[in-house]
Amino acid sequence: MTDRTTPAPFAVKLLLAYLAVDGLLRIALMLNDWIRAATPALDLYFRGVIVLFYLLIGIQILLRTTAGRIWAVVFFLLFSTLELVKYVAHPHVWLAIGLGGRVRTIASLVVYLGFAAFLLGRRAREFLRG
């Protein structure tokens, strides 16, 4: 059992850094699309909800709550499933995104599933105990 003064494992720091950087990138893309009016408003709202969810997960993990760990696992598994379903249901999209898009998609899946596996592990469970 860890107390509140135990330093965070490297994977937790990496997870928080990922959420911060990816959230900032999503905000930048969202603002760019909003300024150019290149994206429907519903898509912009959806992106905003994802950024708020990143913020919620990040704050809960900083507070070392079990709920933050559970929500992060749900989030990463849900996004992985949605990515896989998208390409299984519409294989022409997989062919249309090119090699760079495929590498980025596979890398995203590896990152999402890696974070989910870490958060389901014993070390994360001990550290993120509310």
Q: Could you report the per-residue pLDDT of 37-50, keeping only the tens digit for each?
A: 766 777 777 878 88
| CA distances for 107 relative to 36, 38, 80, 101, 113, angstroms | 29, 27, 11, 10, 10
Domain ranges of the chain: 10-127
Task: Note whether 4 and 62 are within 8 A (CB).
Answer: no
Nearest to 71 by CA among 1, 124, 29: 124
Q: Could you report the per-residue pLDDT of 79-124, keeping only the tens digit for each?
A: 899 889 988 999 998 899 889 889 988 998 999 999 999 999 998 8
